């Protein structure tokens, strides 16, 4: 490109960040180069300087300076193979024109990162509808090793509505976990601020007086002696690793959570995979009304439940009448 361009934001692009708009429209432009163009005021929105995290709206005019320096295109993402397309399609629990709900398996990251090449975000183009549609987009996250309900939006208005619902805490989440020991009392609320550790390990969260407020509701559904219990949990806030940190904090780490429970997270011959599952999610549907999605346990948790004599299918609403 050897000249200045002006592009107009379409309705389907409304509400996304400016840097993401550039990634979609100019994938060959490196992030560092875009940052410099923004910093020096060469990129403008409606004639004004802008930042990468600014949101664009329908009809906004974006000035794109000459991009000769970006001619050397980096290698693009590898196309999805048939197995990957089938893999993400088999995760689908529900879909309509606005929303797709997935049952994410444990061990699959939601987004890419250092050394992570396979993740839900990469697989989402396989769920794209018409060719003129954009791929579905993420609106919330699950830990890599946590399984269960993950909702994605099929268009920009739905993404804005769902993102707002998660931010405003109008989504109701229920997780199932197997933990060491039996909490006393059998139901209640864990209220303990959470922050990142100042230690050297990557993204370790800790309970700290200077942390952000974090609240998790819990209820013991069943227990095997005093060794292991099955908990239903509902995070009122959404801090990183909140449920895992809270349960380790009260002395009942999740089975398989070596990161926060260490050796205390082991029990007999049960799987050492994380026993935390997003079992149900209720949310305001962008088209109106409320939609509740439930997801079956992953194989390793199903085996552990069977071994311990727990029967999750017999439970309707574990928090019905709970003092929220």
Catalytic option among 19, 60, 143, 222: 143
* Amino acid 201: pLDDT: 56
Report in angstroms the alpha-carbon separations of 127 from 80, 96, 123.
11, 11, 8
Distance (Å, rounded) from C-alpha 60 to C-alpha 50?
12
Residue 267 — very low, low, confident or very high, per pLDDT cuts 50/70/90? very high
Told to judge if 98 belongs to the known catalytic residues of this protein, a careful annotator would answer no
pLDDT at 87 over 90: yes
Q: Residue 97: how many CB atoms within 10 A of its CB?
A: 10
Q: Which tokens is 299 given? A: 């194989």
Position 71 confidence tier, pLDDT thresholds 50, 70, 90: very low
Mean pLDDT score of the chain, rounded to an integer? 90
Task: Report which DSSP code applies to 181.
Answer: S
pLDDT band at 79 (very low <50, low <70, confident <90, very high): confident
Q: What percent of the chain has pLDDT over 70?
A: 92
Is residue 28 left, alpha or beta, with left meaning phi > 0 and alpha meaning psi from -120 to 50?
alpha
């Amino acid at each position: 490109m050897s000249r200045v361009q002006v592009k107009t934001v379409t309705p389907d692009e409304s509400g996304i960040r400016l840097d993401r708009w550039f990634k979609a429209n100019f994938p060959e432009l490196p992030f560092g180069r875009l940052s410099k163009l923004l910093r020096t005021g060469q990129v403008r929105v409606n004639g004004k300087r802008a930042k990468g995290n600014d949101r664009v709206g329908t009809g906004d005019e974006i000035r794109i300076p000459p991009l000769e320096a970006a001619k050397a295109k980096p290698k693009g993402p590898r196309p999805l193979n048939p197995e990957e397309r089938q893999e993400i399609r088999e995760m689908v629990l529900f879909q309509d024109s606005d929303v797709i709900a997935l049952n994410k398996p444990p061990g699959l990251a939601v987004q890419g990162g250092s050394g992570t090449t396979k993740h839900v975000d990469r697989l989402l183009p396989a769920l794209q509808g018409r060719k003129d549609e954009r791929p579905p987009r993420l609106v919330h996250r699950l830990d890599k090793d946590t399984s269960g309900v993950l909702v994605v939006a099929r268009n920009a208005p739905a993404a804005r509505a769902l993102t707002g619902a998660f931010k405003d805490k109008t989504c109701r989440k229920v997780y199932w976990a197997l933990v060491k020991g039996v909490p006393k009392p059998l139901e209640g609320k864990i209220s303990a601020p959470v922050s990142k550790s100042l230690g050297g390990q990557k993204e370790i969260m800790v309970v700290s007086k200077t942390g952000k407020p974090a609240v998790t509701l819990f209820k013991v559904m069943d227990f095997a002696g005093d060794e292991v219990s099955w908990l239903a949990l509902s995070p009122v806030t959404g801090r990183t690793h909140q449920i895992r940190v809270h349960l380790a904090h009260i002395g009942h780490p999740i089975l398989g959570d070596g990161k926060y429970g260490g050796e205390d997270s082991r029990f007999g011959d049960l799987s050492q995979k994380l026993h935390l599952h997003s079992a149900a999610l209720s949310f305001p549907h962008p088209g109106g009304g409320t939609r509740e999605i439930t997801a079956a346990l992953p194989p390793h948790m199903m085996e552990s439940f069977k071994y311990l004599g727990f029967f999750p299918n017999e439970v309707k609403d574990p928090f019905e009448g709970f003092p929220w």
